[in-house]
Amino acid sequence: MKLVLAAVLGAASASKLRLGTERAAEIEGVSLETAYAAFLERHGLQRVGDTVSRSERMATFARSHAKVTEHNRKSDRTWTAGLNRFSDQTHEEFGRVLGYRRMGTWWNSTTSTSFIQTDSVHYAESLDWASQTHSGKYFIDQGACGSCWAVAATGALEMRAEIAHKKAPSMLSYKELVDCVENPQHCGGDGGCGGATGELAFEYISKNGLSASASYTGDREATEHCKTGSRSAVVKANSFVKLPVNKLSPLMMAIQHGPVVVSVDGGPWGSYESGVFNGCRRDATVNHAVLLVGYGHDATVNMDYWLVRNSWGEWWGENGFIRILRHSSDEGDAGYCGTDYDPKQGVGCDGGPSTLPVCGMCGILSDSVYPDEVSSF
């Protein structure tokens, strides 16, 4: 078997010039069964006791390979697709990692503060808080739990605490948020692994603080039950700031001082491997929370981009990050604006609107929030 796998992966390497990525060429010249076995071994995947049949897995894998190959043959592409751990997952399985639920316009909180617009602001030419902080290297793989909202909120708190106090806190417990944050208006679900919001996370943190991951115990896949006896806050944010919806300048201003939790349509991201991503439709369905850590310009493709840390582990994308096309406006065509026609997937709050406006690639300007007045104990 080792020799067969070596031959398959060798064929993949030989195809690199044709497709632009080694990972995207794993089934050329070999049978689907052999290629799929090689894929499972390469990515360390175990399908013991799988509820999905092997034939269905292989069919999904073959479709993923075809899409990756088709995309990477485009001469004008700005990003490269690849095969990864999502490549044999069903639509329902992948959907579980998209657990962000937008609050819409009704949000009201005693601990949120209004964003103050400043007329004259100097923006750095480029910015990368992840490389400037130790806590920027705290990577989380959320697995099958729809806890992206908790991971993103925890990351923002960790990095802003380090920026404010010149010292990285211990890795904080996103699991505490999954277990303990209540979702009374059922925004897209019942909270926990079923999805919630950055606002709800920061509301909880403003009242309770957040424990270190080493002190708050729990299994992320377990049924969520708040373990009050394990809580021991080490960082707190007295308030949080919700940015104006679909506005570019406030987000640019906010990121100058630290990372921001942003909402996006993560549905098209599954096969992202590298480059500046521009693969979302204008009418994005906002369904995923991520951490905006900076921005820059890619001279190779002559594109401005947002730098985002995802919650799918370092194996995904550019070592856990994705660069997303950054538009120069927040209006009309120039702002890549559209409509979210499926709020129940991404918003779904009781009494919420049937549609919501979205702007920016993947709707990145649509719903943003960050912790304020951060203190470490």
Q: Which residues are catalytic?
A: 148, 288, 310
38 DSSP β-pair partners? none
Q: Can you read off the two tokens belonging to residue 49?
A: 């006791």
- How far is the C-alpha of 242 from the C-alpha of 105, rounded, in Å? 11
Place of tokens 């064929």: 11
CB atoms within 10 A of CB 361: 24
Instruction: Say if residues 376 and 169 touch (Cβ distance below 8 Å).
Output: yes
Q: What ranges in the chain are assigned the alpha helix state H?
A: 2-14, 16-19, 32-42, 54-72, 91-95, 129-132, 148-165, 174-180, 198-208, 248-255, 343-346
Instruction: Say if residues 155 and 369 touch (Cβ distance below 8 Å).
Output: no
- How far is the C-alpha of 306 from the C-alpha of 323, rounded, in Å? 5
Orientation angle between helical segments 54-72 and 32-42, nearest 10 degrees: 90
Q: Can you read off the two tokens belonging to residue 244?
A: 């104006």
